[in-house]
A and B are shown apart, each in its own frame.
Chain A
Amino acid sequence: MPILGAVDPLDRLRCAGKRVTDPLESLAQSVAQHVVDLVVHAVDLNALLRQVDLDALLARVDVNEVLARVDVSALVDRVDVNEVLRRVDVDALVGRVDINAVAGRIDMDALVAQTDLGAVIAQSTGGMAAEALDAARSSAVGLDGLVDRWVGRVVRRRHPRPVAPPALLDAAGHGGTQA
Chain B
Amino acid sequence: MSGPARGAGLETMQGHYAGSVSRTAAYVIDAAVSSGLFAAGLALVSYAAQVVTGSVIGWSRQDVLLAVLLAAWQLLYFGYSWASGGKTFGMAVLGVQVVRADGMIIDPWRGVLRALVFPLSFLLFGLGFAGILVQREHRALHDLIAGTAVVYSWDARSARLRFLSRSRPSAAGDAR
Contacting chain B: which of A1-9, A74-82, A107-115? A107-115
Tell me the interface secondary structure of chain B in the complex: mixed
CA distance A172 to B123 in the complex (A): 36
Is A28 in contact with chain B by the CB < 8 A criterion?
no
Chain A contact patch, size range = 35 or more
Known A140-B21, A140-B25, A147-B20; contact A171-B168, beta-carbon cutoff 8 A:
no
Known A118-B165, A136-B94; contact A168-B19, beta-carbon cutoff 8 A:
no
Q: By the criterion CB–CB under 8 Å, are A122 and B159 in contact? A: no
Q: By the criterion CB–CB under 8 Å, are B137 and A161 in contact? A: yes
CA distance A161 to B5 in the complex (A): 20
Q: By the criterion CB–CB under 8 Å, are B158 and A125 in contact? A: yes
Nearest residue, chain B, Cβ from A148: B19
Kindly identify, within residues 33 to 87 of chain B, every residue whose CB is under 8 Å from any CB belonging to chain A: none
Chain B contact patch, size range = 35 or more
Kindly identify, within residues 113 to 158 of chain B, every residue whose CB is under 8 Å from any CB belonging to chain A: 133-134, 136-137, 149, 151-152, 154, 158
Q: By the criterion CB–CB under 8 Å, are B15 and A147 in contact? A: no
Is A141 in contact with chain B by the CB < 8 A criterion?
yes
Contacts of B95 in A (CB 8 A): 133, 137
Contacts of B112 in A (CB 8 A): none
Kindly identify, within residues 114 to 135 of chain A, every residue whose CB is under 8 Å from any CB belonging to chain B: 116-119, 121-122, 125, 130-131, 133-134
Q: By the criterion CB–CB under 8 Å, are B166 and A162 in contact? A: no
Q: List 7 A-B contacts (CB under 8 A).
A: A108-B161, A125-B162, A137-B154, A143-B21, A151-B134, A165-B137, A171-B8
